[in-house]
Amino acid sequence: MATQTWCLCFTSLAFLFITCSSAEFLIQQVTEGRGTEYNRSYSLEADLGVTSILREERPSSKIVTITSFSVIKERYESYESSIFEASGYKWRLILYVKGKSNDGGSGHISLYVRIVETQSLPKGWEVNVDLKLFVHNPKQNKYLTVTDGTVKRFVDAKKEWGFGQLIPLSTFHNTSEGYIEEDTASFGAEIFIVKPAEQQEKVTFISNPPDNVFTWKILHFSTLQDRFYYSADFLVGDRYWRLGFNPKGNGGGRPYALPLFFYGQGFKPDAVATNTWGAVNLRLKNQLSTNHRQVHAAAWYPIRSGFNVGVNNIILLKDLNNATKGYLVNDAIIFEAEVVKVSVTNIVSA
Ligand X SMILES: *[C@@H]1O[C@H](CO)[C@@H](O)[C@H](O)[C@H]1NC(C)=O
Q: What is the binding site for ligand X (CB under 6 A)?
A: 37, 39, 170, 174, 176-177, 322, 324-325
What is the number of H-type helices and E-type strands within the chain? 4, 22
| Strand 89-96 to 307-316 pairing | unpaired
- Rounded to the nearest whole angstrom, what is the least distance from the CB of residue 291 to ligand X in the complex? 10
The Cα–Cα gap between 146 and 217 comes to: 67
The Cα–Cα gap between 301 and 239 comes to: 10
Residues 6+ apart with CB under 8 A from 214: 231, 234, 236, 241, 243, 336, 337, 338, 339
Residue closer to ligand X by CB (options 37, 117) is 37
The Cα–Cα gap between 70 and 175 comes to: 13
Residue closer to ligand X by CB (options 5, 176) is 176
Residue closer to ligand X by CB (options 19, 51) is 51
- Rounded to the nearest whole angstrom, what is the least distance from the CB of residue 49 to ligand X in the complex? 13
Residue closer to ligand X by CB (options 218, 316) is 316
Residue closer to ligand X by CB (options 196, 255) is 255
- Rounded to the nearest whole angstrom, what is the least distance from the CB of residue 323 to ligand X in the complex? 8
Neighbours of 171 (CB within 10 A): 15
- Rounded to the nearest whole angstrom, what is the least distance from the CB of residue 331 to ligand X in the complex? 17
- Rounded to the nearest whole angstrom, what is the least distance from the CB of residue 174 to ligand X in the complex? 4
Residue closer to ligand X by CB (options 134, 179) is 179
- Rounded to the nearest whole angstrom, what is the least distance from the CB of residue 33 to ligand X in the complex? 13
Residues 6+ apart with CB under 8 A from 165: 42, 44, 47, 50, 99, 104, 105, 108, 110
Which stretch of DSSP H or E encloses residue 318? Answer: helix 317-320
Residues 6+ apart with CB under 8 A from 349: 198, 199, 200
The Cα–Cα gap between 301 and 15 comes to: 9
Residue closer to ligand X by CB (options 13, 323) is 323
Residue type, 246: N
Residue type, 210: P
Residue closer to ligand X by CB (options 325, 341) is 325
Angle at 7 between CA 2 and CA 11, to 5 degrees: 140
- DSSP letters spanning 72-92: HTT--SPEEPPPEEETTEEEE
Residue closer to ligand X by CB (options 265, 321) is 321
| 128: helix, strand or coil | strand
The Cα–Cα gap between 297 and 106 comes to: 64
The Cα–Cα gap between 250 and 311 comes to: 9
- Rounded to the nearest whole angstrom, what is the least distance from the CB of residue 286 to ligand X in the complex? 12
Residue closer to ligand X by CB (options 153, 318) is 318
- Rounded to the nearest whole angstrom, what is the least distance from the CB of residue 107 to ligand X in the complex? 13
- Rounded to the nearest whole angstrom, what is the least distance from the CB of residue 36 to ligand X in the complex? 8
Q: How far is residue 248 from each of residues 223, 227, 309, measured CA to CA in Å?
A: 11, 7, 18
- Rounded to the nearest whole angstrom, what is the least distance from the CB of residue 64 to ligand X in the complex? 24
